[in-house]
Structure 1
């Protein structure tokens, strides 16, 4: 049976090309090199320590013993664990080197052990297990001046190199060392990845690399334009999002696979890919806080990946634009807390999810309004997608929740089709000459979709929109309707929907489920067995909706309870178990973090809106908000 610390007991370190999870016990139990979606060399979080781990801790520490304290160093992704023992105090600092001046990113993890007081005996135990824990590599000791090197060669020819100034012993597929650190002394271990047929990574001074990595992240954080009361929270959540933005422009939904949405159940998915939806929403959030380079990188990735074949649009791709994300199960891994199966790849790549058109258009317009100039390539992509959607919008689809049951006419999907044409018309206004006929046609179609949703997706008796046409159940995605401007926040149908979702989908603590789940797959719209936790993103959406309908105090109170679900480092997974009071799902989750950042922005914007009005009825400056639609929304919220 697999045993683990809680998901929230982990910290993320990363270099934007990949990331690792290190828990409070000083164990790295998830690491893929050199890319997020590469096979893991440490997969212990999905099994046992024998599936790949690397622990550095005081000698004699048991599996459940954890560091006394931990924190990130400033506004960075360098994490420090402090151990206080009877013999003294030790810091273990973990990080991945940042990119060089030429953009080169080293596939390395560096661990620095430093004596604070006394003299403490420490142990490093490396168990590399390439191929998601399936393989014990060939280990060898390599002589080196001033250091001991260990090589671990996998069956595919990849080599993992461990360097450190202490002697290692090889036994049972592991490399172990025991050493004593005294006050003021420090040593460093460097783990590097060498791809088959490639030269070995160059060595670098680990202490200089630590300073450079911390400076890299701090300089990025300093660019944030937010100065509100939640600045520390916002910076940490933005750094987490930045860590998932690959240098090639793709953005992963999370750096992990198969961390369960319900312990012991089968809702376990691989999130190490670029969803058009999640990436678009991430870009909109980053732009809102003043970050444009990530948006430019994403547009470049989008044009290379989707622009080459927009007729065969997928809802997700690999980081390099890969289309084949075939789903498989890794049956040798027992899963986190025995939650099977562990999945590799994601079959949802082949689904029809109509909402992605809308999210793409929102992000492109947000980027445009932030000052990134229009280009003929982006215009062509928008035109192609718009022409394509003309023949797709009235189809059933799997929706944003990627149901594995029958397709439906999901209301959120239809609304996002309306959003696409609403934003696309704005995106192409500068082409009103040569695109006049198309824009006129799209304007008529926008109104047709709007009328269709109102006629078929709204329950007059209950005064609420429904999850899908003809259904009665609700969907937390309906909370987005006022955000995207489908109806104004003070419309009674919006207020009724917000109140219905809050009433019917809330947990006892006020957090929100995505949609109802039942005992059998046939009863569940998603076609899956079992239940899941409260969806944190949806709970932040409820905060946003409450702000927009004028209930800011209630929204603030809910936001404070939601932020308390983040771990001590400010990291959040996908879901929250309200009974066990612990995080669930892949970790950290981009969608959760972007929703948290969006809500912090919205609460502050609403506070400033009211302050401006109280000071004499002055209009809130539109430049302080990301686009005019949200200005109108917050005007209405202030009046309510």
Structure 2
């Protein structure tokens, strides 16, 4: 899934494999999403794949550096910017699932969380020993300046909704991540920025999210400001270090997602769909459970000290792989089959990071099998820390 000549990473090598058989949530994933590629690189770095990280950084510079103020969320594997979405009406689709699309209209969306994923990966590359690059530092500075100006805007969010823009909590959290990782690099002497301004901004974003994005009555963060909806992307709040895993608001959010977005087996839906009605994402129809989100739940359970539950869910997820050990984007618990484009980079990235986290936490366990009391604090990123603690590949 890495295009060797440029280092670009595709989200999946297929198009229009449906997220529900017979449904219309069928998209072209044969492109390089900054979010998918960045988080995949974070997992690869944890396994010692530094050459791939350096190649991706070169791809990023070619694709973005000329125009970072107009950052797209996806590009072609050689950095192409133009990917108009078209429907191939003469094709019947996989098992009658239409439409068949090529290109992806999400290229024109505003997704502010992408700044967080990209900057976090640049930070991890630095921490993982990838050599300093002056061009990358210059790009980083321009990206953070642009985010400072735009972080208060609504956007389409991580799930690329095709309805009205909202103030998605996940997007604001990832804006916080972008600022936080920039501060860390500056404090390490690897980046020249105005630290005082960024520290104030980091606190401002944090306070706004905890005020506007949290429902104190239900004790859970919500999908967007003023909304009562849940979103599985909220499971990332402790994983990126926004709040510690033991925080009551984090525990409450995890419990709400277990109640309202999970199957009895712990497999997680992204958010509630609306059946035959048009939902908040701009589409009617349902979809399968999202494997990426299900791995995030494993991480949350593990960091909350519920290691036996986390391992049991992890084993259930591993059992969903095909005979080659590969995963698609989603899974249909009723029909017991994989759904969506295949294989999916996000799913395998999550599998790798969850495995590394469970390995790390198992090493921290007391002889009786219970986790040690010391848990990562609010300024650490436990999943990333587990990634970086992994041995280098030889």
Return the TM-score normalized by structure 2: 0.93
Provide Cα deviations, 1:4-59, integer angstroms capped at 9, x if missing partner. xxxxxxxxxxxxxxxxxxxxxxxxxxxxxxxxxxxxxxxxxxxxxxxxxxxxxxxx
Q: When you count helix as a share of all residues, which structure comes out higher? A: 2
Confirm or deny that 1:599 pairs with 2:351: no
> In the TM superposition, what is the alpha-carbon distance from 1:630 to its structure 2 partner?
2.0
Q: 1:433 to 1:480 in 2, by over 3 A?
A: closer
In 2, the alpha carbon distance for the partners of 1:421 and 1:618 equals 29
Is this contact kept in 2: 1:573–1:587, CA < 8 A? yes
Is this contact kept in 2: 1:432–1:439, CA < 8 A? no
Is this contact kept in 2: 1:263–1:337, CA < 8 A? yes
* Residue among 147, 153, 161 paired with 1:403: 161
2:46 matched to which residue of 1?
288
Provide Cα deviations, 1:304-347, integer angstroms capped at 9, x if missing partner. 11111101100000011111010001111100000000000000
In 2, the alpha carbon distance for the partners of 1:333 and 1:489 equals 47
* Residue among 500, 504, 518 paired with 2:256: 500
| Structure 2 unpaired stretches of 5+ | 387-394
In 1, the alpha carbon distance for the partners of 2:373 and 2:318 equals 32
> In the TM superposition, what is the alpha-carbon distance from 1:375 to its structure 2 partner?
1.7
- Point out the structure with max Rg over C-alpha: 1
* Residue among 459, 472, 487 paired with 2:215: 459
The equivalences for 1:220-239 within 5 A come to: none
Q: 1:335 to 1:392 in 2, by over 3 A?
A: same
The equivalences for 1:546-625 within 5 A come to: 546-611=301-366
* Residue among 465, 480, 489 paired with 2:245: 489
> In the TM superposition, what is the alpha-carbon distance from 1:520 to its structure 2 partner?
4.3
Q: When you count strand as a share of all residues, which structure comes out higher? A: 1
In 2, the alpha carbon distance for the partners of 1:358 and 1:461 equals 29
Q: 1:534 to 1:313 in 2, by over 3 A?
A: same
2:294 matched to which residue of 1?
539
In 2, the alpha carbon distance for the partners of 1:344 and 1:568 equals 28
In 1, the alpha carbon distance for the partners of 2:272 and 2:72 equals 27
1:377 matched to which residue of 2?
135
In 2, the alpha carbon distance for the partners of 1:375 and 1:515 equals 39
In 2, the alpha carbon distance for the partners of 1:600 and 1:432 equals 30
Is this contact kept in 2: 1:488–1:633, CA < 8 A? no
SS of match in other structure, 1:391: helix
Q: Which moves more between the two structures, 245-254 or 267-276?
A: 245-254
> In the TM superposition, what is the alpha-carbon distance from 1:530 to its structure 2 partner?
0.2
In 1, the alpha carbon distance for the partners of 2:289 and 2:190 equals 45
> In the TM superposition, what is the alpha-carbon distance from 1:508 to its structure 2 partner?
3.1
In 2, the alpha carbon distance for the partners of 1:247 and 1:602 equals 32
* Residue among 345, 358, 361 paired with 2:103: 345
> In the TM superposition, what is the alpha-carbon distance from 1:507 to its structure 2 partner?
1.7
Is this contact kept in 2: 1:245–1:294, CA < 8 A? no
Confirm or deny that 1:256 pairs with 2:14: yes
1:415 matched to which residue of 2?
173
Q: 1:330 to 1:539 in 2, by over 3 A?
A: same
2:234 matched to which residue of 1?
478
Q: 1:295 to 1:603 in 2, by over 3 A?
A: same
> In the TM superposition, what is the alpha-carbon distance from 1:628 to its structure 2 partner?
5.7
> In the TM superposition, what is the alpha-carbon distance from 1:427 to its structure 2 partner?
2.1
Is this contact kept in 2: 1:244–1:255, CA < 8 A? no
Indicate the structure whose relative CO is greater, using CA pairs within 8 Å and at least 6 residues apart: 2
Q: 1:404 to 1:488 in 2, by over 3 A?
A: same
> In the TM superposition, what is the alpha-carbon distance from 1:434 to its structure 2 partner?
5.2
Provide Cα deviations, 1:453-490, integer angstroms capped at 9, x if missing partner. 00100000000000000000100000010000000011
1:332 matched to which residue of 2?
90
In 1, the alpha carbon distance for the partners of 2:156 and 2:369 equals 46
Q: May I ask how many residue pairs the two structures share in their alignment?
A: 383
Q: CA RMSD in A?
A: 2.2
